[in-house]
Homo-oligomer: A and B are copies of this chain.
């Protein structure tokens, strides 16, 4: 435990990774607002991302569904369609599951089985003082996409109405159809480049805090280095939000955060294009007593706000 994914010692050639994630209606998604295919897809990606954070390859999937009477067989088929789309994209085979009635709300519980060569698994507890912190891709897009989706119903005129359709679709797509960083995780594991890794499901601040706790370490983030996409920058300007704060606190990006020894950063730069996505250095690992700090653009250092992503509740 500790890592979201358990390791089972298999043969001398591979160890198994097992992870399970549960998505609940009204907590992770709402019926009628989310295409049922996106519910299935995203529930699957949450698991794939856990395996990516260990540097593993995903193989087999089991799905347990609790289905309320309100959900039609067609809608349930669409949930499976989304699950199968995520499976096909990453060569994963659906091997079993269970269905049950539900008095209230759809529940999607997914178990994913992957593998990693013995000794290769990325863990959360290996970050050491002086290591540099990197993230894959860009951060905060998913949170912006969620805001666009949920604002659509309440507010008829939105301050984000100046956003181009392409930017809007990009941000919503990043929220509904995130891409697990399996290739990046596998390359980092195979080359033993990461001393620790975690996937960003709850937001950078929350997941960094988790990684540091497991590694008995502190961390300093450089706020101006947090990678923000052009659509996010445009969106945050229009909505008068700070893009770096969205990047820091927004969850469900499913990017990887990992630490690298200073002596290995040149090697990382050399293999960067094999990771399948951009990587950005966002800070460094410090002693535990230094806590989690954020270096602001003006040079001041403040504690990292611990408000990590909370699933919406009404």
Chain B nearest Cβ from A314, distance in angstroms: 8
Instruction: List residues of chain B with CB within 8 A of the CB of A94.
Output: 1
Indicate if the CB atoms of B104 and A26 lie closer than 8 Å. yes
One of A57-65, A149-157, A187-195 at the interface: A57-65
Q: Identify whether the interface residues of A are mostly helix, strand, loop, or mixed.
A: strand
Instruction: List residues of chain B with CB within 8 A of the CB of A109.
Output: 20, 22, 64, 107, 109
Chain A 164-208 against B: per-residue CB contact (8 Å), 1 yes, 0 no? 000000000000000000000000000000000000000000000
Given A6-B60, A62-B111, A109-B109: A97 in contact with B20 (beta carbons within 8 A): yes
Instruction: List residues of chain B with CB within 8 A of the CB of A111.
Output: 18, 20, 62, 111
Given A101-B27, A102-B27, A311-B101: A64 in contact with B96 (beta carbons within 8 A): no
Number of this chain's copies in the complex: 2
Q: Does residue A66 face the partner (Cβ distance < 8 Å to B)? A: yes
Complexed CA–CA distance, A64 and B63 (Å)? 12
Count how many chain A residues have C-beta atoms less than 8 Å from C-beta atoms of the other chain.
Answer: 44
Chain A 89-101 against B: per-residue CB contact (8 Å), 1 yes, 0 no? 0000011111111
Indicate if the CB atoms of A19 and B96 lie closer than 8 Å. yes
Indicate if the CB atoms of B20 and A113 lie closer than 8 Å. no
- Contact partner of A28 (CB less than 8 A), chosen from B95, B99, B100, is B100
Question: Which residues A1-23 have CB closer than 8 A to chain B?
Answer: 1, 4-6, 8, 10-11, 16, 18-23
Instruction: List residues of chain B with CB within 8 A of the CB of A20.
Output: 62-64, 96-98, 109, 111
Instruction: List residues of chain B with CB within 8 A of the CB of A65.
Output: 22
Indicate if the CB atoms of B18 and A62 lie closer than 8 Å. yes
Instruction: List residues of chain B with CB within 8 A of the CB of A5.
Output: 96
When C-beta atoms are compared, the residue in chain B nearest to A11 turns out to be B11
Chain A 33-70 against B: per-residue CB contact (8 Å), 1 yes, 0 no? 00000000000000000000000000110111110000
Indicate if the CB atoms of B11 and A313 lie closer than 8 Å. no
Instruction: List residues of chain B with CB within 8 A of the CB of A11.
Output: 10-11
Instruction: List residues of chain B with CB within 8 A of the CB of A113.
Output: 8, 18
Question: Which residues A75-113 have CB closer than 8 A to chain B?
Answer: 94-105, 107, 109, 111, 113
Complexed CA–CA distance, A259 and B99 (Å)? 27
A19-B96, A22-B100, A107-B107 given; name 8 further pairs at CB < 8 Å: A8-B95, A20-B63, A20-B97, A22-B64, A24-B66, A25-B103, A27-B100, A103-B313
Which A residues fall within an 8 A CB radius of B? Answer: 1, 4-6, 8, 10-11, 16, 18-28, 59-60, 62-66, 94-105, 107, 109, 111, 113, 311, 313
